C-alpha cells in the first residue's frame, strides 16, 4: 500500500469547527459498516430514517479532541431516485449537508464504484475517497495510482483495509482537514462535454437569481443536472421556479442531436468518465489467474450441483443453530423455572409479601423474563450464522440458486432463506427478512413464514401423536410440515394476485468475492441483529406473560381454572371450535395462551386437564445446591452442544422425547379427543395466530402493525378453514 501523503493533506487547521458530521457513502459490499465499527469502536446508534423503516445507523466518538459523528448511508449504486435507499441517501446529502463525505470504493472493482463517486462529486460537498480492500487489489496484482485519481477528481484518495484498521487514521485526518477547510476543498467540476455544458449553463443562469433557489441552499450544479435529466422528484419540488420554455430551449439541441432520453445520455457520460479514469489510474497484470472465487462458483452456481449444495449449506446452518443453542435454551429454562423462581418465592415470602403478589412475581414476571431469555440462544446463534454467510459471500449465491424456484410464488431466491429458518423459529426468521431490499418481497415473505412449522409447535405434536398415532408418529409429523409448505405456496399465489399485484421485478444481485469475515465484525453484527429482539420483543413478551397470569388466577382464590377469567373466556369461545372437533373450554383456553408461545399450549393443558392435588411435594434444594446445579448443568449444556454438532443424523434438539410427566396428560387427551379431532387440533396449532413475539417482531421490522394484523386475520381464517375441512371431511369419509 502506498503510505505517502498526497499534497492535499498538508494544511494547518485554522478556524476549526468543534463538531464534524461525516456521511459514509458507497456501493453495497464495500465495507461501510466495517469501517464505521473500526473507527468508532462499534458505538453504533440504530434508529429509522424519517418516515421509513430503513435503519439509520450513526456513531459518535472523539478524534483529536473533536466530536465526530459518522452517518452510515444505505448502500447504493447511484443517487438516482429509483429505490428507497437511493432516495434516503440523496435526500440526506442534499438537505442535511454533512461537513464531508467519505466515499468507500472497492479497490478490486474500481470502475463500477466510480459511477457513484462522480455523482457524489456533483453535490459540491468536500469528499474523501477510501480506497478500501486495497490488500485484495494488491494480491490480484492491481496497481492503483492514488495521486493521479486525487488530481483528476479533486478529492483525497486514501488506501484502506477496514478489516485490519490499515489507513484508518490517515483517512480520518484527511476527513477532518477537509471539513475544516471546506472552502478550499470543493470537489473538481467534471465536464460533461460541450453540448451538455451549454445546456447546463443556460439552466444555471436561469436558476441562480431565483429567491427560492437561494433560500433552499440546494447545490446549484447538482440541481441543474437533475433538471436536465428530468428527475421527477426534483421537478415536483420546484413547480413554480422552472420556466418550461427555458428547459425546452436548453435541451432542444440535445434531444435532436442525441436522444430524447437525456437521463440515459448523461448516465452514459458518467460511465465513460468512470471507465476513462480507471484506464488512467489502474494497471492490471497481463496474465490473469483464475481466482478462488471462480473455482468455487463453478460448483456453487452449477445448474446441477448448485441446489444440492445449497440445501446442504442450509441444513448445516439449521443444524448448528438449533443443536448448539438447544442445550443452552434448556439450561436457561431450567434455571429460570427452578432456582430463580424458588429464590424469588423465598425472598418475597421472607418479607411477608401477599400470596397473590408472590405468585405474580414468580409465575408472571419471572416466567415472562424466562420466556424472553430462552429465545436468546437460538436467535443469537441464527444471527451469527446468517452474518457468517452474508460476510463470506455465500448468501448472495444462495439467493441466486433459489431464485427460479421461488418465482413460482412471486418471490425471489433471497426470500427462501428466512422461510427455511422459520422451521427452527419464526422470530429470528422474521428478522432475517431484513436482507431483502424490496419492501413487498419482505412483507410477503414475513406473512408466509408462520406457515413453516417452528420448533415451539413440536411439544404439541409430540404429545398428540404419542396419544393417538404412536405406530406412525413420524409420518403424521411429516404430513404437518408438508401441509404448512403446501398452504404457503397457495397463500403466496393468493397474496401475489391481491395484496402484491404487479409483475415481479427483475432480480439483480451482486455476487461479491468470497471473504472470511473477521471474528470482531462477526460479533458486532451478530449483536446488532440480536439485540433488537432482546430490547423490543422482550418488553412485550414480559407484559403479555403478566397478562396471562392475571387471566389464569383472577378472580383471586378460584379453585378451578374453569372459573378464572381465562376459563370463562374459553367457555364463551368454545362453540366457535365445535365444528372443528375440539369445542371444549379446556382446548380453547389452551389455544388462547398459545398466542404467547405455542409450547404454552401443552403447559396450559397440563393445568386445566390434569389435577395436581396428588402430586408429591419435593424437598426444596438449598442455595448452595442450586448454585452447584446451575454450574453443573451449564457445563453439561456445553457438552450436549458439542455432541449435537457431531451428531450424524437429523437435528438433535428437534427430536423431542415424550417425557414421563406428560403421561397423565396423554391419557386425559386420549379421552377428550378422537384421532380425527386430534389431527385437526394439530393442524390448527400449525396454522393459527402467530405467537405474540412474532407479531412484535413484525411490528419492529415494518414500523407498523398493518402486516401483523393481516397475519392474524388470514391465519385465523386459514386455520379454522383447514381444521374444519380435515374434521368434517374425515367424518364424511367415515373416520
Q: What one-character-per-residue DSSP string does 241-255 give?
A: T--HHHHHHHHHHHH
Q: Who has greater pLDDT, 213 or 655?
A: 213
Strands 156-159 and 127-132: parallel
Grid cell, residue 568, equals 370463562
> Could you report the per-residue pLDDT of 108-165, keeping only the tens digit for each?
889 889 999 999 998 888 999 999 989 888 888 889 999 998 988 889 999 999 888 8
The pLDDT value given to residue 722: 94
- Decide if pLDDT at 5 tops 60: no
CA–CA separation, 29 and 39 (whole Å): 18
Kindly state the average pLDDT of the residues 320-346: 81
660 three-class SS: helix
Confirm if 145 and 33 have CB atoms less than 8 A apart. no
Residue among 441, 448, 420, 446 at smallest CA distance from 431: 446
From first CA to last CA, the distance across the chain in angstroms is 76
55 three-class SS: strand
> Could you report the per-residue pLDDT of 655-665, keeping only the tens digit for each?
444 444 455 56
CA–CA separation, 489 and 480 (whole Å): 15
Kindly state the average pLDDT of the residues 287-296: 69
Kindly state the average pLDDT of the residues 397-416: 74
Verify cis geometry, omega within 30 degrees of 0, for the bond prior to 467.
no
Please give the angle made by the CA atoms of 267, 272 and 278, to the nearest 5 degrees.
130
CA–CA separation, 487 and 722 (whole Å): 10
CA dihedral sign of residues 62, 67, 71, 77: negative
Q: How many residues does this entry show for the chain?
A: 735
- Decide if pLDDT at 12 tops 60: no
Q: What one-character-per-residue DSSP string does 597-629 give?
A: -TTHHHHHHHHHHS--TTPPPPPPPPHHHHHHH
Alpha-carbon separation of residue 443 from 207, 402, 533 (angstroms): 42, 19, 18
Q: Who has greater pLDDT, 516 or 43?
A: 516
One-letter-per-residue 3-state SS of 474-515: HHHHHHHHHHHHHHHHHHHHHHHHCCCCCCCCCCCCCCCCCC
In order of their start, the domains of the chain are 7-184 (3.40.50.300), 194-258 (1.10.287.1770), 307-732 (no CATH)
Give the burial class of 202: count Cβ atoms within 10 A of its Cβ; 0-12 exposed, 13-18 middle, 19 or more buried.
middle
Q: Who has greater pLDDT, 315 or 290?
A: 315
Alpha-carbon separation of residue 522 from 60, 292, 452, 576 (angstroms): 21, 22, 27, 49
pLDDT bucket at 7, cuts 50 / 70 / 90? very low
Q: What one-character-per-residue DSSP string does 205-270 give?
A: HHHTT-HHHHHHT--HHHHHHHHHHT-HHHHHH-TTT--HHHHHHHHHHHHHHT-S-HHHHHHHHH
10 Å Cβ neighbour count for 620?
10
> Could you report the per-residue pLDDT of 705-726, keeping only the tens digit for each?
999 999 999 999 999 999 999 9
Grid cell, residue 633, equals 448443568
The pLDDT value given to residue 116: 93
Count CA atoms closer than 13 A to 370's CA, side-chain side. Answer: 22
- Decide if pLDDT at 292 tops 50: yes
Residue 20 bridge partners (DSSP): 68
Give the burial class of 571: count Cβ atoms within 10 A of its Cβ; 0-12 exposed, 13-18 middle, 19 or more buried.
middle
- Decide if pLDDT at 308 tops 80: yes
Residue among 461, 424, 423 at smallest CA distance from 662: 461
CA–CA separation, 148 and 710 (whole Å): 56
pLDDT bucket at 78, cuts 50 / 70 / 90? confident
Confirm if 580 and 680 have CB atoms less than 8 A apart. yes
Q: Which of 52-61, 218-227, 682-691, 696-705 has the largest mean confidence?
A: 682-691
Ramachandran angles phi, psi of 695, nearest 5°: -65, -40
Q: Who has greater pLDDT, 204 or 618?
A: 204
Residue 144 bridge partners (DSSP): 282
Q: Who has greater pLDDT, 660 or 222?
A: 222
pLDDT bucket at 243, cuts 50 / 70 / 90? low
Give the burial class of 474: count Cβ atoms within 10 A of its Cβ; 0-12 exposed, 13-18 middle, 19 or more buried.
exposed
Please give the angle made by the CA atoms of 473, 474 and 477, to the nearest 5 degrees.
85
- Decide if pLDDT at 6 tops 60: no
- Decide if pLDDT at 13 tops 50: no
Kindly state the average pLDDT of the residues 374-389: 77
**CA R_g for the chain:** 31
Which segment of 177-186, 286-295, 425-434 scores lowest on mean pLDDT?
A: 286-295
Residue carrying C-alpha cell 388470514: 714
The pLDDT value given to residue 130: 94
Q: What is the pTM of this model?
A: 0.64
27 three-class SS: coil
> Could you report the per-residue pLDDT of 555-593, keeping only the tens digit for each?
877 777 778 888 888 899 999 999 999 988 888 988 888
pLDDT bucket at 26, cuts 50 / 70 / 90? very high
- Decide if pLDDT at 633 tops 80: yes
Element (H, E) at 69: strand 66-72
pLDDT bucket at 258, cuts 50 / 70 / 90? low
Residue among 424, 406, 422 at smallest CA distance from 414: 406
pLDDT bucket at 683, cuts 50 / 70 / 90? very high
CA 464 to chain centre: 35
DSSP secondary structure code for residue 185 in this structure: -
DSSP secondary structure code for residue 94 in this structure: I
Grid cell, residue 298, equals 463453478
> Could you report the per-residue pLDDT of 482-540, keeping only the tens digit for each?
898 889 888 988 888 888 776 555 555 667 777 777 777 778 777 876 776 666 556 66
The pLDDT value given to residue 53: 45
The pLDDT value given to residue 212: 67
> Could you report the per-residue pLDDT of 461-470, keeping only the tens digit for each?
877 887 888 7
- Residue 197's region, left for phi above 0, alpha for psi from -120 to 50, else beta, is alpha
Which segment of 4-18, 309-323, 587-601 scores lowest on mean pLDDT?
A: 4-18
DSSP secondary structure code for residue 288 in this structure: P
pLDDT bucket at 48, cuts 50 / 70 / 90? very low
pLDDT bucket at 44, cuts 50 / 70 / 90? low
Q: Who has greater pLDDT, 698 or 510?
A: 698
The pLDDT value given to residue 447: 93
- Decide if pLDDT at 241 tops 70: no
- Decide if pLDDT at 678 tops 80: yes
CA–CA separation, 586 and 39 (whole Å): 58
Report the mean per-residue pLDDT for the chain: 78
Residue among 439, 402, 405, 438 at smallest CA distance from 417: 402
- Decide if pLDDT at 96 tops 80: yes
- Decide if pLDDT at 682 tops 90: yes
Q: Which of 290-304, 414-428, 623-637, 648-662 has the largest mean confidence?
A: 623-637
- Decide if pLDDT at 628 tops 60: yes
H helix runs in 301-340, sequence order? 306-335
Instruction: Assign 3-state DSSP to the chain and report helix, strand, coil percentages, each to 5.
Output: 65, 5, 25
Please give the angle made by the CA atoms of 39, 42 and 48, to the nearest 5 degrees.
110
Q: Who has greater pLDDT, 358 or 386?
A: 358
pLDDT bucket at 244, cuts 50 / 70 / 90? low
CA–CA separation, 160 and 134 (whole Å): 6
The pLDDT value given to residue 2: 40
Q: What is the dihedral of CA 387, 389, 393, 394, to 10 degrees?
A: -160
- Decide if pLDDT at 50 tops 50: no
Grid cell, residue 332, equals 436457561
The pLDDT value given to residue 600: 74
Amino acid at each position: 500500500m502506498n503510505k505517502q501523503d498526497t499534497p492535499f493533506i498538508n494544511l494547518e487547521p485554522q478556524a476549526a469547527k468543534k463538531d464534524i458530521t461525516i456521511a459514509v457513502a458507497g456501493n453495497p459490499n464495500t465495507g461501510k459498516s466495517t469501517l464505521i465499527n473500526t473507527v468508532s469502536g462499534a458505538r453504533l446508534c440504530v434508529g429509522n430514517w424519517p418516515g421509513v423503516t430503513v435503519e439509520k445507523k450513526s456513531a459518535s466518538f472523539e478524534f483529536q479532541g473533536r466530536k465526530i459523528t459518522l452517518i452510515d448511508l444505505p448502500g447504493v449504486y447511484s443517487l438516482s431516485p429509483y429505490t428507497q435507499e437511493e432516495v434516503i441517501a440523496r435526500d440526506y446529502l442534499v438537505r442535511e449537508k454533512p461537513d464531508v463525505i467519505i466515499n468507500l470504493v472497492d479497490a478490486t472493482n474500481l470502475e463500477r464504484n466510480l459511477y457513484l463517486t462522480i455523482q457524489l462529486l456533483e453535490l459540491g460537498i468536500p469528499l474523501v475517497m477510501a480506497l478500501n480492500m486495497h490488500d485484495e487489489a494488491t494480491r490480484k496484482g492491481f496497481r492503483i495510482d492514488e495521486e493521479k485519481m486525487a488530481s483528476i477528481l479533486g478529492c483525497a484518495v486514501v488506501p484502506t483495509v477496514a478489516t485490519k484498521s490499515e489507513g484508518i487514521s490517515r483517512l480520518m485526518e484527511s476527513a477532518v482537514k477537509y471539513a475544516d477547510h471546506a472552502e478550499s476543498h470543493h470537489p473538481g467540476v467534471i465536464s460533461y462535454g460541450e453540448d451538455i455544458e451549454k445546456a447546463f449553463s443556460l439552466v444555471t443562469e436561469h436558476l441562480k437569481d431565483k429567491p427560492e433557489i437561494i433560500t433552499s441552499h440546494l447545490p446549484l450544479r447538482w440541481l441543474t443536472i437533475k433538471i436536465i435529466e428530468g428527475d421527477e422528484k426534483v421537478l415536483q419540488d420546484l413547480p413554480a421556479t422552472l420556466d418550461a420554455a427555458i428547459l425546452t430551449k436548453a435541451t432542444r439541441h440535445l434531444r435532436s442531436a442525441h436522444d430524447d432520453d437525456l437521463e440515459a445520455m448523461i448516465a452514459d457520460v458518467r460511465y465513460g468518465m468512470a471507465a476513462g479514469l480507471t484506464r488512467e489510474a489502474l494497471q492490471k497484470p497481463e496474465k490473469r489467474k483464475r481466482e478462488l472465487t471462480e473455482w468455487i462458483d463453478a460448483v456453487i452456481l452449477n445448474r446441477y450441483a448448485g441446489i444440492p449444495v445449497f440445501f446442504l449449506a442450509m441444513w448445516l446452518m439449521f443444524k448448528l443453530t438449533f443443536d448448539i443453542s438447544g442445550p443452552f435454551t434448556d439450561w436457561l429454562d431450567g434455571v429460570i423455572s427452578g432456582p430463580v423462581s424458588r429464590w424469588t418465592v423465598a425472598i418475597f415470602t421472607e418479607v411477608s409479601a401477599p400470596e397473590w403478589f408472590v405468585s405474580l412475581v414468580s409465575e408472571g414476571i419471572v416466567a415472562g423474563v424466562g420466556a424472553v431469555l430462552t429465545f436468546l440462544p437460538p436467535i443469537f446463534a441464527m444471527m451469527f450464522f446468517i452474518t457468517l454467510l452474508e460476510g463470506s459471500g455465500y448468501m448472495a449465491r444462495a439467493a441466486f440458486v433459489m431464485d427460479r424456484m421461488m418465482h413460482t410464488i412471486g418471490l425471489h431466491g433471497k426470500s427462501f432463506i428466512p422461510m427455511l429458518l422459520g422451521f427452527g423459529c419464526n422470530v429470528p426468521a422474521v428478522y432475517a427478512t431484513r436482507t431483502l431490499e424490496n419492501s413487498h418481497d419482505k412483507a410477503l415473505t414475513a406473512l408466509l413464514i408462520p406457515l413453516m412449522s417452528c420448533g415451539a409447535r413440536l411439544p404439541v405434536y409430540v404429545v398428540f401423536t404419542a396419544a393417538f398415532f404412536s405406530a406412525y408418529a413420524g409420518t403424521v409429523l411429516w404430513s404437518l410440515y408438508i401441509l404448512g409448505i403446501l398452504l404457503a405456496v397457495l397463500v403466496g399465489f393468493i397474496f401475489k394476485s391481491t395484496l402484491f399485484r404487479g409483475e415481479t421485478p427483475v432480480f439483480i444481485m451482486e455476487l461479491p468475492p468470497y471473504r472470511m469475515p473477521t471474528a470482531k465484525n462477526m460479533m458486532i453484527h451478530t449483536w446488532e441483529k440480536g439485540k433488537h429482539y432482546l430490547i423490543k420483543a422482550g418488553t412485550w413478551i414480559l407484559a403479555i406473560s403478566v397478562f396471562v397470569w392475571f387471566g389464569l388466577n383472577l378472580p383471586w382464590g378460584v379453585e378451578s381454572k374453569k372459573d378464572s377469567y381465562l376459563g370463562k373466556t374459553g367457555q364463551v369461545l368454545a362453540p366457535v371450535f365445535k365444528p372443528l372437533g375440539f369445542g371444549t373450554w379446556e382446548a380453547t383456553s389452551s389455544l388462547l395462551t398459545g398466542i404467547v408461545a405455542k409450547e404454552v399450549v401443552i403447559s396450559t393443558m397440563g393445568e386445566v386437564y390434569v389435577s395436581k392435588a396428588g402430586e408429591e411435594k419435593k424437598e426444596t434444594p438449598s442455595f448452595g445446591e442450586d448454585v452447584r446445579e446451575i454450574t453443573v448443568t451449564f457445563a453439561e449444556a456445553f457438552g450436549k452442544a458439542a455432541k449435537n454438532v457431531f451428531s450424524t443424523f437429523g437435528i438433535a434438539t428437534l427430536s423431542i422425547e415424550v417425557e414421563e410427566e406428560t403421561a397423565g396428560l396423554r391419557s386425559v387427551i386420549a379421552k377428550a379427543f378422537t384421532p380425527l379431532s386430534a389431527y385437526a387440533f394439530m393442524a390448527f396449532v400449525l396454522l393459527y395466530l402467530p405467537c405474540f413475539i412474532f407479531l412484535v417482531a413484525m411490528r419492529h421490522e415494518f414500523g407498523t402493525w398493518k402486516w401483523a394484523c393481516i397475519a392474524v386475520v388470514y391465519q385465523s381464517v386459514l386455520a379454522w378453514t383447514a381444521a374444519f375441512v380435515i374434521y368434517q371431511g374425515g367424518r364424511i369419509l367415515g373416520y
